[in-house]
Amino acid sequence: KQRNHHEPEFLQAVQEVAETVIPYISTQEIYDGKNILLRMVEPERVVSFRVNWVDDSGEIQVNRGYRIEMNSAIGPYKGGLRFHPSVNLSILKFLAFEQVFKNSLTTLPMGGGKGGSDFNPKGKSDNEIMRFCQAFMSELFRHIGPNTDVPAGDIGVGGREIGYLFGMYKKLRNEFTGVLTGKGASWGGSLIRPEATGYGNVYFAQNMLATKNDSFEGKIVTISGSGNVAQFAAEKAIELGAKVVTLSDSSGYIYDEEGINTEKLEFVMDLKNVRRGRIHEYVEKYPNATFVKGEKPWTVKCDIALPCATQNELDGDAAKALIANGCTCVSEGANMPSTPEAIEAFHANGILFAPGKASNAGGVAVSGLEMSQNSLRYNWTREEVDAKLKQIMADIHASCAKYGTNDDGSIDYVRGANIAGFVKVADAMLAQGVV
Ligand code: NDP
């Protein structure tokens, strides 16, 4: 705590893991006296670098770039890149730390990492985005590689940015390798990768609901965010017969009582991915819906809530509002969207609650499958990848149940995910000695 006192998000993520893993360690002799958790909270390597680029008006801009190589005990570092003005060491270390456990849960051989920049992509031209990505990669390429560290997308980094980053890496190294995931389907990308985090989150929630003989059919679902994860969580929930009534961005949320159907969702995808507009434009197209400025969608009555925007977007009061409105299931698409107070309220009220490191692991799982396909120089079909994703989400659910089942039969998914993720990495670290 002393060493990282200026990193609140990182401390929050570590505390949540420590609270569940330390009691477990104390019952397991093999971990006794090995300081495993203490080693896990210290990144193996942190790279911070200057990113110079020239904007459209000819002015030289300076941003800060990072890559946190957190843990490589079970495979190459793997984790996304975030471009957002809020990016700093605390946020990237929390994300990298979570990533270690999440990647372990996927059953695939991937270590944990995360990176990004305080660059703000909002309002930038396509050329500016390209120049920034090239400048960013002109340093990052030294530190990554298909067997070393394989970045992917995150907030502000989607298919377009991965393309520019990949193009620059290929030019600098003169090699075509699977160094990034989330690539386009015609140049090494995996089918279902864009959909994977959102779909996987819904698959995980399906597994949770099945423990209560329940499903998405006929349920009212609130979703926050309107980016990659939110869009495909909505798509899958709609396909399973749910009524999705909200989406949001950092300026507020839209509420559509009639439900956001497939056609309306297509409008949102075009709005956000092609025209790069704001979510409030939804109500101009569909006037029966309302836009609530500056608020989050947690006061809307729902059965299932899927927070898919960003960290700490669902606090204790929001959790209480959800519970009072009859919500019974919360499955995190974003990383750490629920505050500790919110999680406490969910647990105290018997809500089915999935932490992101379990429920949003579908994205990195399909990234792992993209790496496998790149190594094989072969592509699996949509159906094959989707079937593997479904199986992985079911396996993660089973791992959570293995380590998180309470005496009364209910499942503490936070404890389950943390311990299951920990065991695999800790055992590998023990086997590899103090290095
Ligand atoms: P996108 O950039 O595609 O979308 C992010 C969405 O969240 C946008 O609607 C954005 O609104 C909103 N948002 C971002 N920051 C804030 C903020 N500070 N306050 C309110 N809203 C905000 O990112 P993704 O969909 O890829 O990522 C969303 C979450 O999912 C993140 O927590 C990410 O770490 C997590 N995640 C993503 C994975 C992936 O495969 N992409 C994998 C696993 C987890 P606005 O446009 O106004 O900023």
Dump the DSSP string for 24-74. Answer: HHTT-GGGTTS-HHHHHTS-SEEEEEEEEEE-TTS-EEEEEEEEEEEE-SS
> HSE (CB half, 13 Å, CA atoms) of 247?
30
Could you tell me the CA-to-CA distances from 102 to 52, 150, 409, 421 in Å, in that order?
33, 15, 24, 7
pLDDT at residue 165 above 90? yes
Give the ligand 1 atom nearest the CA of 156. 2
**Atom 31 of ligand 1, nearest CA residue:** 334
- Angstrom distance (rounded) from CA 109 to CA 139: 26
Non-local (6+) Cβ contacts of 387 within 8 A are none
Q: In the prediction, which pLDDT does 296 show?
A: 98
pLDDT at residue 17 above 90? yes
pLDDT band at 35 (very low <50, low <70, confident <90, very high): very high
CA of 154 to the centre of ligand 1 (A): 7
Catalytic residue, chosen from 114, 243, 296, 388, is 114
Q: What share of the chain has pLDDT > 70, as a percent?
A: 100
Q: In the prediction, which pLDDT does 364 show?
A: 98
Look up residue 216 and give its two tokens: 């998405």
Q: In the prediction, which pLDDT does 5 show?
A: 81
Catalytic residue flag (residue 114): yes
Nearest Cα to Cα of residue 212 among 410, 414, 358, 417: 410
Question: CATH 3.40.50.720: which residues of the chain?
Answer: 194-359
Q: In the prediction, which pLDDT does 4 show?
A: 83
Rounded to an integer, the average pLDDT of 90-117 is 98
Give the residues across from 49 on adjacent strands: 65
pLDDT band at 44 (very low <50, low <70, confident <90, very high): very high
Mention the CATH class of domain 194-359.
alpha beta
Rounded to an integer, the average pLDDT of 294-316 is 98
Q: What share of the chain has pLDDT > 90, as a percent?
A: 98
**Atom 23 of ligand 1, nearest CA residue:** 155
pLDDT at residue 2 above 80? no
Phi–psi pair at 5, nearest 5 degrees: -60, -20
- Angstrom distance (rounded) from CA 75 to CA 428: 10
Using DSSP bridges, classify how beta strands 220-224 and 246-249 pair: parallel, antiparallel or unpaired. unpaired
Q: In the prediction, which pLDDT does 3 show?
A: 81
CATH of domain 43-175: 3.40.50.10860
Residue among 82, 203, 229, 364 whose CB has most ligand 1 atoms within 8 A, to mutate: 229
Count of other CB atoms within 10 angstroms of residue 143 = 17
CA of 227 to the centre of ligand 1 (A): 6
pLDDT at residue 361 above 90? yes
pLDDT band at 244 (very low <50, low <70, confident <90, very high): very high
End-to-end CA distance of the chain: 23
Count of other CB atoms within 10 angstroms of residue 129 = 19
| Cα angle 196, 418, 336; round to 5 | 55
Amino acid (1-letter code) at residue 375: S
CA of 250 to the centre of ligand 1 (A): 10
pLDDT tens digit string along 124-162? Answer: 999 999 999 999 999 999 999 999 999 999 999 999 999
Which residues in 146-183 are b (16+ Cβ under 10 Å) and which e? eeebbbbbbbbbbbbbbbbbbebbbeeeeeebbbbbbb
Give the residues across from 305 on adjacent strands: 222, 330
Question: CATH 3.40.50.10860: which residues of the chain?
Answer: 43-175
Count of other CB atoms within 10 angstroms of residue 320 = 15
CA of 156 to the centre of ligand 1 (A): 7
Phi–psi pair at 6, nearest 5 degrees: -95, 15
* CB-based contact 398:208 (threshold 8 Å): no
pLDDT at residue 1 above 80? no
pLDDT at residue 428 above 80? yes
Look up residue 237 and give its two tokens: 């929930």
Residue among 223, 247, 250, 393 whose CB has most ligand 1 atoms within 8 A, to mutate: 250
Count of other CB atoms within 10 angstroms of residue 257 = 12
**Atom 35 of ligand 1, nearest CA residue:** 334
pLDDT tens digit string along 314-339? Answer: 999 999 999 999 999 999 999 999 99
pLDDT tens digit string along 51-69? Answer: 999 999 999 999 999 999 9
- Angstrom distance (rounded) from CA 159 to CA 138: 19
CA of 228 to the centre of ligand 1 (A): 7
Rounded to an integer, the average pLDDT of 166-181 is 98
Give the ligand 1 atom nearest the CA of 157. 2
Q: In what order do the strands lie in the sheet with 246-249?
A: 246-249, 252-255, 290-293
Q: In the prediction, which pLDDT does 32 show?
A: 87
Q: Average pLDDT of the chain?
A: 97
Pocket of ligand 1 (CB under 6 A): 153-156, 158, 197, 225-230, 249-251, 308-310, 313, 333-335, 360, 363
